[in-house]
Amino acid sequence: MKLKSLFVILTILVFLFLCKTGITKVCPEVKELQKRIEKSNVKILKILKSPVPGLCEVIVELPNDKKSVFYTDYKGDFIIIGKILDLKHKKDITKERIIFLNKRYLNASQLAELEKLVVFKYGNSPNIIYLITDPKCPFCRKAERILDKLVKEGKIAVKVVLFPLEKIHPGATNMAVSIICDNKGFSELINGYNNKNLCKSGKQKIKKSVDQMLKWKIYAVPTYVFSDGEIRMGVLNEEELLEKIAKLNNKK
């Protein structure tokens, strides 16, 4: 067991003991705890009781506008940064909470705008996933290979939107433009297709994509957009993708 995980478990056990010894069961005030961490770059939004007796959940806003959580005791004397795992139900409570707090959606008109930015579609399944990707991003390659497998199994179809992050991946813009100009598809995207064909229409399409992503405050790749408009950033594994698709199909 990792030292960090052991520390978190031991700290929680201490809090459980203290909780039973009669310590007040009211979480600290936001202003009070914010003063104690004033040198940090996080803003406390809310403090709630956590699923674990003796611990309070602190919801914070990070400098990148994302939300996260850490935990504290009822007096606000200690801070715990780590995961709470529900062993009975085999769930990562902290991870699920962070995903919930950061859920974002595109509305119907925004989804229509996203459709205009699609470069190509891969697969024939009715289960559509939009993939916003950078042709030079290593994490995107991992996401694309997972999607490729699911498409070949007939479980999903992918609509690709190219969003090159030129400052992070120099040359990504030209790669994206050449994919459009040469009318290439998913296979070429995964294999890093690059050509000198930089047609005007390709440049215009990429500029529109970049401008729109920034307008929607989508700054990371890969990013997935599902048919209900939910935005999910970062690589999703096969299980996570299929779970989301199943939920969407159950709502129909």
- 155 found inside a domain: yes
- 223 and 139 in a common domain: yes
- 130 and 69 in a common domain: no
- 150 and 33 in a common domain: no
The CATH number of residue 110's host domain is: 3.40.30.10
**CA Rg, the chain, in Å?**
22
Residue 40: pLDDT band (50, 70, 90) is: confident
pLDDT value of position 1: 47
Given a cut of 60, whether residue 6 has pLDDT beyond it is no
- 148 and 243 in a common domain: yes
Which of 121, 239, 222 shows the shortest CA–CA distance to 231? 222
pLDDT value of position 16: 53
Residue 162: pLDDT band (50, 70, 90) is: very high
Q: In which domain, by residue range, is 97 found?
A: 3-11+21-101
The CATH number of residue 75's host domain is: 3.10.450.70
Q: DSSP of 150-205, one letter per residue?
A: HHHTTS-EEEEEE---TTTSTTHHHHHHHHHHTT--HHHHHTT---S---HHHHHH
- 207 and 115 in a common domain: yes
Segment 145-166 mean pLDDT: 98
- 90 and 132 in a common domain: no
Last residue within a domain, chosen from 101, 123, 138: 101
Residue 73 near residue 15 (C-beta atoms within 8 A): yes
Segment 85-114 mean pLDDT: 94
CB-hemisphere CA count at 13 Å for 121?
Answer: 12
Domain count, the chain: 2
Last residue within a domain, chosen from 101, 126, 149: 101
- 207 and 132 in a common domain: yes
Residue 45: pLDDT band (50, 70, 90) is: very high
